[in-house]
Amino acid sequence: MRLGWIGPDPKLPLSRQYELASVSRATVYRPRVAVPVDEDDLALCALIDEEYTLHPFYGSRRMVVILLRQGWLVNRKRVQRLMRVMGLVGMAPGPSTTVRHPGHKVYPYLLRGVAVVRPNHVWSTDITYIRLARGFAYLVAVIDWYSRRVLSWRISNSMDAPPCVDCLEEALISHGKPDIFNTDQGVQFTSMAFTGVLLREGVAISMDGRGRALDNIFVERLWRNVKHEDVYLNGYATMGDLTVGLTRYFAFYNEERPHQSLNYRTPDVVYASGEGGGAMIVDKYGSAAVTPLVTSGAVAEHGAPPQAPPCRERDAINSAVAGVGN
């Protein structure tokens, strides 16, 4: 007698059999097929990723213009779909720039005007899209604001909460805990799985304000460095290649790369010594935000007063992303 699945019962209608087995009929009537990778979509994702890294305030409308200039016949809906897949949103004030989970608690931003004066005073995290030769991945990292040191990181093929929680747990185990931990309002970071870890450790939770493009500028600057100094140069094909490459890059970033904002010292040295780092987020031009740095006791501001009010956020972002944490 052969054991195993014996097939459908011819005496019962298929609809009844699937109902009894709690199986959707669509899985039978519409067999699953492998969805081929659209080469044009991959090429567009690569171009959008590079342009967004240079100009994070570009939304889908401006991105369409850039792609049309490069000879791509695309409409806004296609660009919106690709940016949504990559988790990219233009860093500018406006309605619905952050999609929040209605059941998740959002915490206030605690860092405006707060001088970060020591290692483990403030940590923050974010998640970014990383392109591969035939697909994409997501990178999450935890960074120490005072020293710009990358404390932990993870890559994943999804934007779910578990990789973010694992990254946070590793940083806490390896480096102690900060006084304040800052994130954006993404569902990964507002979930109880993530905030519960911080509450368990007694860490004050801070979250970027809506439309506040510079509230987490140090992680944004890290993404720019990672992509331009490693990802774009190496063109990783697989998750395995990316893991090996990022392991090498983050070791270089922490241990060897001189940072202009740290008086050309490395994050490892500043983190270990507790000297030569620092940061502060302040308001200077009304709704616009600029990012000053505390370096050797002095405050160095990046950004200049804009001439036209509609351009304030754009000018502040352009200056800050170009100059913070080099």
pLDDT digits (tens, 9 = 90+) for 79-125: 988 888 877 776 544 333 344 555 668 899 899 889 999 999 999 99
Q: What sign results for the dihedral spanned by CA atoms 94, 98, 103, 105?
A: negative
Binning pLDDT at 50, 70 and 90, where does residue 37 land?
low
* CA neighbor of 173 nearest in space, from 149, 151, 205, 204: 151
Position 230 scores a pLDDT of: 92
Structure tokens at 321: 């992303």
The first and second tokens of residue 110, run together, are 């605690």
Residue with tokens 């200049």: 304
- Encoded tokens for 137: 């991945």
Is the C-alpha dihedral spanning 73, 78, 84, 86 positive or negative?
negative
Residue ranges of domains in the chain: 39-86, 122-323
The answer to whether residues 54 and 220 touch, using CB atoms and an 8 Å cutoff, is: no
pLDDT at 7 over 90: no
What band does 267 get if pLDDT is binned at 50, 70 and 90? very high
Write the CA distances from 46 to 54, 78, 244, integer angstroms.
13, 14, 21
Q: Are 162 and 193 in contact (CB under 8 A)?
A: yes
Whole-angstrom distance, CA of residue 78 vs CA of residue 47: 13
Distance from C-alpha of 128 to C-alpha of 210, rounded to nearest angstrom: 18
Across 108-146, b (16+ Cβ under 10 Å) vs e yields: ebbbeebebebbbbbbbbbbbbbbbeeebbbbbbbbbbb
* Residue keyed to tokens 């014996």: 6
Residue-level pLDDT at 90:
66
Separation between Cα atoms, residue 237 and residue 157, nearest integer Å: 14
Nearest by Cα to 121 from 279, 260, 254, 273: 279
In CATH, the number for domain 122-323 is: 3.30.420.10
- Cβ-based neighbour number of residue 222 at 10 Å: 23
